[in-house]
Homo-oligomer: A and B are copies of this chain.
Amino acid sequence: MNRITSLFNIKYPIIQAGMIWCSDWRLASAVSNAGGLGLIGSGSMTHDILREHIRKCKNATNKPFGVNIPLLFSEADEFIKIVVEEDVPVVFTSAGNPAKWTSYLKEHGIKVVHVVSNVKFAKKAEDSGVDAIVAEGFEAGGHNGREETTTLVLIPMVKEVVSIPIIAAGGIATGRGMMAAMALGAEGVQIGSRFVASDESSAHLLFKQRIIEAKDGDTQLILKKIVPVRLIKNKFFKEVEEKENAGSSLIELSELLGTGRARKGMFEGDADEGELEIGQISGLIHEIKPAAEIIDEIVSEYHRIKTELEGIDF
């Protein structure tokens, strides 16, 4: 028991990140059933699809689950209405101003968590009344902060300025990583990449396979002039990188990106032409597994490492 397990009424302080194209009701319910908190990633959904997935998730688990809503997403306001109507117990907001919807969600009995990547926005999120903060470091997959602060550095810095519980994200896929996060002052972990490579993830099998093949140095943060995003360095990545290095304009870059690159890569499995958002920690992920097994392994390793650390003395 700690403040995170109490807040969400879950067994383990392990949150599965709500990710576009990868985390629908199947993954969210599998994680919640296994004692963590599963999140539906709404950022790649339409209204109808989101409502359908929330309902399916409720049918698949009687445990708490949540929805991640990127606030800058054009559909965000509509999604807020849907989660209230559908009695979703937890909402994680990201990419936007938490002051906009936090009070409204909390008035409807929803626990609210906001994702930040720097100290200033951690404080702002606390001031807006959220129940907890996800502090996400540079090593995380997908969209990322401009400061490039790593999880190891970010967590204790955020802890200096906020008193609400912190959930560490970025670079965590194992019990060791979880123990490191707790040592830094986090009270829970948000895990993305490891769950993308799960049986229940809606990511395309070819994307999952690229994750388990990925090694040290196979992802990189790119598009810093638009919005920094960590991708696998595939053919598409290299085209974007070349254009960036050649000093291409934002318009040229946006045209190359076009629309649907994330769907193409992560959901349709076009590993060359698509955008593959994943974290550095993919280099430590070697097998596609059921979500429940992933959670069991993380928890077992956490306890094993705890005992090991107790035995070291100086």
Binding site for B on A (CB under 8 A): 1-2, 5, 11-13, 118-120, 137-139, 146-154, 156-157, 160, 170-172, 174, 176-177, 179-185, 215-217, 220-221, 245-247, 280-281, 283-284, 299, 305-306, 309-310, 312-314
Q: Would you give 9 A-B contacts (Cβ < 8 Å), ordered by A?
A: A138-B138, A148-B221, A150-B150, A150-B171, A153-B284, A156-B177, A156-B284, A182-B312, A246-B247
Bound state CA distance, A146 and B221, in angstroms?
A: 12
Bound state CA distance, A150 and B177, in angstroms?
A: 12
Q: Is the CB of B310 within 8 A of A150?
A: no
Interface residue from B176, B185, B217 paired with A176 (Cβ < 8 Å) = B185
- Given A309-B182, A309-B309; A5-B152 close (CB under 8 Å): no
- Given A157-B283, A312-B2; A150-B138 close (CB under 8 Å): yes
A153 contacts across to B, CB distance below 8 A: 139, 171, 280-281, 283-284
CB distance from A166 to the nearest CB of B (A): 12
Interface residue from B151, B174, B183, B217 paired with A146 (Cβ < 8 Å) = B217
Bound state CA distance, A174 and B83, in angstroms?
A: 41
A150 contacts across to B, CB distance below 8 A: 137-139, 150-152, 171, 280
Interface residue from B119, B146, B183 paired with A179 (Cβ < 8 Å) = B183
- Given A177-B184, A284-B157; A152-B151 close (CB under 8 Å): yes
A149 contacts across to B, CB distance below 8 A: 139, 216-217, 280, 283
CB distance from A225 to the nearest CB of B (A): 9
- Given A2-B312, A152-B150; A157-B216 close (CB under 8 Å): yes
Q: Is the CB of B184 within 8 A of A147?
A: no
Which residue from chain B places its CB closest to the CB of A122 in the assembled complex?
A: B216
Interface residue from B13, B156, B172 paired with A314 (Cβ < 8 Å) = B13
A184 contacts across to B, CB distance below 8 A: 176-177, 180
A118 contacts across to B, CB distance below 8 A: 216-217
Q: Is the CB of A310 within 8 A of B306?
A: yes
Bound state CA distance, A99 and B275, in angstroms?
A: 39
A146 contacts across to B, CB distance below 8 A: 217
A170 contacts across to B, CB distance below 8 A: 152
A183 contacts across to B, CB distance below 8 A: 176, 179-180, 183, 305, 309
Q: Is the CB of A160 within 8 A of B284?
A: yes
A314 contacts across to B, CB distance below 8 A: 1-2, 5, 11-13, 299
A216 contacts across to B, CB distance below 8 A: 118-120, 147, 149, 154, 157
- Given A152-B137, A153-B280, A314-B12; A119-B1 close (CB under 8 Å): no
Bound state CA distance, A280 and B160, in angstroms?
A: 15
Q: Given known contacts A147-B217, A160-B284, A176-B183, what 7 new A-B pairs fall within 8 Å (CB)?
A: A5-B314, A137-B150, A153-B284, A176-B185, A179-B309, A247-B247, A299-B314
Bound state CA distance, A95 and B273, in angstroms?
A: 36
Bound state CA distance, A151 and B170, in angstroms?
A: 12
A160 contacts across to B, CB distance below 8 A: 284
